[in-house]
Chain A
Amino acid sequence: MASPLARRSLLLHGLALGLLALQLALTDRSQILFWGAVALVALAGLKLRESRRPPDLRRAALAELIAVGVLAVMNPELGPSLLQASTALVVLGALLSQEAGGRTSLRQLLGRSLQLAMAALPLLVLLFLLLPRLGPLWSLPGATAGRTGLSDQLDPGAIASLVQDPSPALRVSPLSGAIPPPAQRYWRVLVLDRFDGRRWSSLAAPDLRQPPPPPPAQGTPWQLWVVEPSPVPQLPWSGEGIPLTPGLRMAEAGELIGPGPGGERRRYTLGRPTGPSAWRTRPPLPQDLLLPRGSNPRLEQLAEQWGRTLPPAARVEAAARFFRSGSFRYTLQPGRLPQWAPLDAFLFESRAGFCEHFAGSFTALMRAAGLPARVVLGYQGGEWIGDAGGTSGYLDVRQRDAHAWSEVWLEGQGWVAVDPTGWVAPDRIAAGVQGGLAGQLEDLRRLGRTLPWLRQLEQGWTRLDLAWTRWVLQFDGRSQNGLMDRWLGRWRQWQGAVLVGGLAVALVPAALLLGRQYQGRRRDDLRRELERCLAQLAQLGLQPRGGEDLEAFCARAAEVHPKLREALQTLSASYGQLRYAPPETTERRRALASLQHSRQALTRRTSGD
């Protein structure tokens, strides 16, 4: 024997360390716990290297499991969680293959590891439901910048580059009620109220250093939002609803501003609206009418004519007619517009553009016509993945669904959303960018059709991810409180007792498993069964001779009592199998059953004789 360490165990430990290193490489280095996890993995690696005896391997496994736990605190998302779970299984397998003497097959190892994990499951569920949440750990600030998303100003080209980007932007899941129909799916993010003659931007950056917002209002949960990292702090929403997630607040222009910067994935819950949102009726500010005079003279000339002759609502109608009648064209390749008077060049010469062009120039037209107006950036559309009623499932919005539209202030109605792109390319609104560009994207659509499984796979994963977000990640202290209230009601003061009692119950499967796997106990069971049989035979005057094995003894007994032959043969065969066959053979249960059966037969016969 070269070494008391099982080779397979060492290999599995190596694999586990590799998986841990991979996960560390994928982890954000600015997290507080990151270097702690690195230290743990390094510790486990060194321990493994200097391992000489089985207890050393146990210590390495412990360090690895703790590292998995630390990773779980850092990355609670679905994908990383799955990776963590499989790493834990590998570590358990490594542990077991050492403890079992290295003679177990990989399948058995996997089975045993899963069994152990299953035994821990009740404990996990209980702790998940009842253990108080450590709030700050869950929201350790991350510092990565968003990779994709909206820009904070409207600059031709910004959206064109996003249009082609199929990466996910956000997902909305209705918690009560249904998701709006396609034509109403406008998800506002940014409001741009400053125009310099060419570019739209925000006059005031949202002040993130305000004192924390008041505690969230009470309300019925309505929509769950999951938003991928984005460079802007504003969050998408439909413009309706009450912020329920702590730290979420509404800005005056109808922007939703979330807790923390946009660099990480954000999740929040909106409550069912109880009335029209306040921002819709907030009167316009002077800046909502500002237009640099002379920057686009032809535009101003046209709009001022409308402003002189038409009442406010009719000015919007006039613009709609103007866009519909002119030979405007929706395209993703509009070409560059001149530095000077770019909107004039667009409205009266090129007449080709996408949502930014339409929204930007329409808003400028309205301002020139004396109507307060602003540009809204956000997303439009999304693919519903779920039931036909739109109540169970989620809306999948991609970066390519980024959109720009306008809002005008109409006396008596407040801020009214107007989407000039819809006048030019109604398909763009009904069917998304791809509809607006029918033909151009035909190739891509064909590809999508030929790979429906890919689509299904992606949808399945997204659905799972959303469920994870909704049921696991969103389960915070508040949900916990609600649950306790619902379950315990008046007996809330017994919460501690419930926790302790639940812990005891949750440990039962683990205890059972341990008991069952304890070799000595199993041996004793078998031994007891055998001794009962031997006692029965002793009543018949049959005793094993010195050194006689069971097979020979049973054969001799059968010579004396031919009636018992069958029971005796079963006894010796099944006992031999239970006792001396490899422990994991599948016939084990059957052998135990037939052993008991033959004991009963012996009992019957001896008492009958």
Chain B
Amino acid sequence: MGSRPLATVLAAINGVLLGKPSQVQLAVTCLVAGGHLLIEDLPGMGKTTLAEALARSFGLDFQRVHFTSDLLPADLTGLRIFDQSRGAFRFEPGPLFTQVLLADEINRASPRTQSALLEAMAAGRVSVDGVTHPLPQPFCVIATQNGLDQGGTSALPESQLDRFLMRLSLGFPSREAEASLLAGQGLGLEQLGALLQPAELLDLQRQANQQHCEPALIDYVLDLLTASRGAGAAGSPLSPRAGLALLQAARAWSLIEGRRYVTPADVIAVFAAVAEHRLDGGHPLAEAGGHSRQLLESVDAIR
């Protein structure tokens, strides 16, 4: 078993967000896998704290946009404005041009704005008035949405949920964790310094891509995918893209676990976060984790 390359980062974030080690590791995994993260929970559960702690500890630029129904795509991407002093148009980049974008309450924005964001997430660049502007590297969107049905929201459709590598929900902290939170034992966000450089994150992402997958492991993933597509399976069938995402996340997880190869344990660890929002057809928090648990239990993981 090798060393865990991100142990200090995990420890630091766990010092800020108390009592949520597995969610923190999943969030870091998502970042290392180069995917985007959707955090779904009630207000006040620490979504923003997690997002900001992630950005700070990895030393990434951080922008926060609170989505509202009147937010326009240009408010995100930026726009061309006329520079009077030079007598020419000039591109004024929007908040999207950052390394970590916290998109708060994404389901409050109009579908049009959601689309603009998701397009940028998929392509890694933004086109304004026919000119293409590349987004910075690494680029990661951490979006939050309120799980409860509230007025004036447009839930993300299935196809767009697919753009998020993982969906997490934080849940209530344990009694002990909440006790120390109330006792003020958690670290403040501002006390969290950059533990890594952006280049190091890119390097980790490259390493994660090279983690070894034996044919036996691929078999296991294939069995999971097949099980989701069989007659009587719980939830929507998993797409090939879901399979790729699952493997990508499992690779990053195994890297964080300090191994050079992926085992079924890695797949199981990320499965709920990667697969549940693709399985439940966009019904937020419907019987949390139920579909993915059923699927996992239907496939033999000791092989």
In the bound complex, what is the Cα–Cα distance between A576 and B264 (angstroms)?
Answer: 9
Determine whether the beta carbon of B268 is less than 8 Å from that of A552: yes
Determine whether the beta carbon of A547 is less than 8 Å from that of B262: no
Least Cβ–Cβ distance between A441 and chain B, in angstroms: 62
Determine whether the beta carbon of B216 is less than 8 Å from that of A547: no
Determine whether the beta carbon of B298 is less than 8 Å from that of A523: no
Partner of A549, one of B212, B260, B261, B263: B263
Q: Is B83 an interface residue (CB 8 A)?
A: no
In the bound complex, what is the Cα–Cα distance between A40 and B214 (angstroms)?
Answer: 38
- Which residues of chain A (513-565) have a CB below 8 Å from chain B? 523, 530, 534, 544-553
B 250-287 to A, binary, CB cutoff 8 A, 1 in contact else 0: 00000000001111110010000000000000000000
Q: Is B302 an interface residue (CB 8 A)?
A: yes
Q: Is A580 an interface residue (CB 8 A)?
A: yes
Q: Is B199 an interface residue (CB 8 A)?
A: no
Q: Is B6 an interface residue (CB 8 A)?
A: no
Q: Is A508 an interface residue (CB 8 A)?
A: no
Determine whether the beta carbon of B302 is less than 8 Å from that of A580: no
Determine whether the beta carbon of A581 is less than 8 Å from that of B261: yes
Q: Is A579 an interface residue (CB 8 A)?
A: yes
Q: For chain B, give the interface size range.
A: 20 to 34
Partner of A547, one of B212, B217, B261, B298: B298
Q: Is B131 an interface residue (CB 8 A)?
A: no
CB-based nearest B residue for A553: B302
Q: Is A36 an interface residue (CB 8 A)?
A: no
Least Cβ–Cβ distance between A254 and chain B, in angstroms: 74
Contacts of B268 in A (CB 8 A): 547, 549, 552
- Which residues of chain A (487-523) have a CB below 8 Å from chain B? 523
A580 and B263 contact, Cβ closer than 8 Å, known pairs A544-B302, A547-B268, A549-B268: yes
Determine whether the beta carbon of A581 is less than 8 Å from that of B265: no
A581 and B214 contact, Cβ closer than 8 Å, known pairs A549-B265, A551-B265, A552-B268: yes
Determine whether the beta carbon of B301 is less than 8 Å from that of A547: yes
A573 and B1 contact, Cβ closer than 8 Å, known pairs A523-B216, A581-B212, A581-B260: yes
Determine whether the beta carbon of B302 is less than 8 Å from that of A534: yes
Contacts of B1 in A (CB 8 A): 573
Least Cβ–Cβ distance between B103 and chain A, in angstroms: 34
Q: Is A460 an interface residue (CB 8 A)?
A: no
- Which residues of chain B (167-217) have a CB below 8 Å from chain A? 212-214, 216-217
Total A residues in contact with B, Cβ cutoff 8 Å:
21
Q: Is B74 an interface residue (CB 8 A)?
A: no
Contacts of A551 in B (CB 8 A): 263, 265
Determine whether the beta carbon of B297 is less than 8 Å from that of A545: yes
In the bound complex, what is the Cα–Cα distance between A250 and B214 (angstroms)?
Answer: 71
Determine whether the beta carbon of A548 is less than 8 Å from that of B217: no
Q: Is B122 an interface residue (CB 8 A)?
A: no
Q: Is A582 an interface residue (CB 8 A)?
A: yes
Determine whether the beta carbon of A580 is less than 8 Å from that of B217: yes
Determine whether the beta carbon of A549 is less than 8 Å from that of B302: yes
- Which residues of chain B (209-251) have a CB below 8 Å from chain A? 212-214, 216-217
Contacts of B302 in A (CB 8 A): 530, 534, 544, 548-550, 553
Q: Is B70 an interface residue (CB 8 A)?
A: no
Determine whether the beta carbon of B214 is less than 8 Å from that of A579: yes
- Kindly name the residue among B216, B261, B263, B297 whose own CB sees the greatest number of chain A CB atoms within 10 A: B263
Least Cβ–Cβ distance between B226 and chain A, in angstroms: 14
Least Cβ–Cβ distance between A211 and chain B, in angstroms: 70
In the bound complex, what is the Cα–Cα distance between A494 and B213 (angstroms)?
Answer: 54
In the bound complex, what is the Cα–Cα distance between A582 and B254 (angstroms)?
Answer: 14
Determine whether the beta carbon of B301 is less than 8 Å from that of A582: no
CB-based nearest A residue for B294: A547
Contacts of A552 in B (CB 8 A): 265, 268
In the bound complex, what is the Cα–Cα distance between A573 and B217 (angstroms)?
Answer: 15
Determine whether the beta carbon of A547 is less than 8 Å from that of B297: yes
Contacts of A581 in B (CB 8 A): 212, 214, 260-261
Determine whether the beta carbon of B216 is less than 8 Å from that of A549: no
In the bound complex, what is the Cα–Cα distance between A547 and B296 (angstroms)?
Answer: 5
In the bound complex, what is the Cα–Cα distance between A76 and B300 (angstroms)?
Answer: 58
A548 and B212 contact, Cβ closer than 8 Å, known pairs A573-B1, A580-B262, A581-B261: no
Contacts of B264 in A (CB 8 A): 549-550
Contacts of A579 in B (CB 8 A): 214, 216, 263, 303
- Kindly name the residue among A544, A545, A549, A576 whose own CB sees the greatest number of chain B CB atoms within 10 A: A549
Partner of B263, one of A523, A530, A576: A576
Determine whether the beta carbon of B299 is less than 8 Å from that of A547: yes
A 385-422 to B, binary, CB cutoff 8 A, 1 in contact else 0: 00000000000000000000000000000000000000
12 contacts between A and B (CB under 8 A): A547-B299, A547-B301, A548-B301, A548-B302, A552-B265, A576-B263, A579-B214, A579-B303, A580-B261, A581-B212, A582-B212, A582-B214
What are the 4 A-B residue pairs with the smallest beta carbon separation, nearest first? A549-B301, A546-B297, A547-B297, A547-B296
Q: Write the residues of chain B forming the contact surface with A, with a CB cutoff of 8 angstroms.
A: 1, 212-214, 216-217, 260-265, 268, 296-303
A530-B302, A551-B263, A581-B260 given. 18 additional CB < 8 A pairs? Answer: A523-B216, A544-B302, A547-B268, A547-B297, A547-B300, A547-B301, A548-B302, A549-B264, A550-B265, A550-B302, A551-B265, A573-B1, A576-B265, A577-B261, A579-B214, A580-B262, A580-B263, A582-B260
